[in-house]
Amino acid sequence: MTPGPAEPRGARRRWRLPVAAAVGLVLAAGAVFYLGGGYDRWQDGRSLAGLCHGSVDTAEVKALLGGDRVRGKEAEAPEGLASCTVVAAGKPSGGFLDVRVGRAPEEAGRALHDLQRDRPNLATTMVMPFGQGRRGVLDLEGRLRTTAVLPLDCPNSAGLLVTVESVALKGDDPAQRARFARIAARAADGAARVWGCTAPSGAEITEVPADTRYAKVPDGAANGTCAGLPGLTGEAPADPNAPIEDCFLYAGQDTPRFRLGAYYPPFADVLPSVADYPVTGPAGARDDLAWATATCPGGATALFTVDAVFDGSRAGAPDPALEKAALRTFATRSAQRHGCSAPQLP
């Protein structure tokens, strides 16, 4: 066989040079992509995709947390439900958003701990209703940390509970409060889609109330959860979709004396064990605590409590007559608002 013509001297070198240049450009571009943060942002995007079975809309999370990058991570969740975290991965770092989706009977106790109801006699912040037709509450406990709890009704089950917590480095302001509420509401909407539940809602959330730790209402001016109660009070807006309601009665300008609480499903049944309340029977009074109950649509039970507040150094002086009178007014109005029966009172 006649050999082919020999490759001209230098041809192989000329062929290799363009290839080497192309490879070099690819490597250089990759280095620029990596060193310029492109790889990190790509990883961030991958980590956020489908977070918590797709129940988290991450569009506003970066703005909430205040970092230049955010990254998501799935966590172990029982019963095949969902738990995930979004952290501020860039600078500044440290902010986070946690989302949990759990079965309501099991998750309710943990949610009450998150809302600090393991010590409900402490002078902490009160919960606020979501409003806009949503069933849920917000706890705006200070400048940074916020908590949201939203129950979902599900066919053929006791329902789900969506709990969202956040520490946002940008601090507390009206835009941040509304942004957190929207993220929590969208997480509930996403969970409802994934697990075939319902999350009633109305218009887009554009505003939520400020922290109410020391928000007080003058005597006779209460028209929310403390409506009808005399004296200086601290109240939240009254909302029939709020599964927890609070009202503070003040002993002085700066000291809450009694705390009234209304707990609807899925929280009423688990509160006594979480708060270590000596609740026995449908109504009663014991150890500076008085309680009442009502029957609600579907046969569920609502629990109403009044407890002396501990302000960090001392508890409010007991006044059984005042406590029972306040509980009667508070429980009766709350039960009517939620379509429940007249309460059984101590």
Q: Does 82 or 31 have the greater pLDDT score?
A: 82
Distance CA 190, CA 332 (A): 35
pLDDT digits (tens, 9 = 90+) for 176-196: 888 899 999 999 999 999 899
Distance CA 185, CA 192 (A): 11
Residue 154's pLDDT band (cuts 50, 70, 90): very high
Token duo for residue 256: 């809450």
Mean pLDDT of 300-314: 85
Q: Does 271 or 317 have the greater pLDDT score?
A: 271
How large a percentage of the chain has pLDDT more than 70?
A: 77
Distance CA 237, CA 163 (A): 21
In sequence order, which residues have a C-beta less than 8 Å from that of residue 254 and are 6 or more positions away?
Answer: 214
Strand order, beta sheet including 244-250: 233-235, 244-250, 256-263, 301-308, 289-295, 284-286
pLDDT greater than 70 at residue 38:
no
pLDDT greater than 50 at residue 88:
yes
Token duo for residue 104: 């309501």
Token duo for residue 338: 């939620």
Given this model, what pLDDT does residue 93 score? 60
Given this model, what pLDDT does residue 274 score? 94
CB 182 within 8 A of CB 205: yes
For the chain, domain boundaries:
48-199, 214-346
Residue 324's pLDDT band (cuts 50, 70, 90): very high
Token duo for residue 117: 């109801």
Mean pLDDT of 305-319: 77
Residue 110's pLDDT band (cuts 50, 70, 90): very high
Given this model, what pLDDT does residue 65 score? 83
Residue 314's pLDDT band (cuts 50, 70, 90): low
Q: Residues 105, 247, 301, CA angle at the centre, nearest 5°?
A: 35
Mean pLDDT of 159-179: 83
Going along 89-173, which residue ranges are E strands? 96-103, 127-129, 137-139, 145-152, 160-167
What phi, psi does 258 have (nearest 5°)? -130, 145
**Average model confidence (pLDDT) across the chain:** 81
Given this model, what pLDDT does residue 342 score? 97
pLDDT greater than 90 at residue 78:
no
Residue 40's pLDDT band (cuts 50, 70, 90): very low
Mean pLDDT of 125-138: 90
Helix (H) or strand (E) holding 108: helix 104-114
Mean pLDDT of 131-140: 90
Name the amino acid, one letter, at 212: T
pLDDT greater than 70 at residue 174:
yes
Given this model, what pLDDT does residue 171 score? 57
Mean pLDDT of 9-19: 51
Given this model, what pLDDT does residue 57 score? 74
Given this model, what pLDDT does residue 14 score? 52
Question: To the nearest 10°, the Cα dihedral for 69, 70, 73, 75?
Answer: 140
- Sign of the dihedral defined by the CA atoms of residues 134, 140, 146, 151, in that order: negative
Distance CA 305, CA 323 (A): 9
pLDDT digits (tens, 9 = 90+) for 211-243: 776 678 899 899 999 999 999 999 999 999 999
Given this model, what pLDDT does residue 288 score? 83
Most confident of 86-90, 117-121, 186-190: 186-190
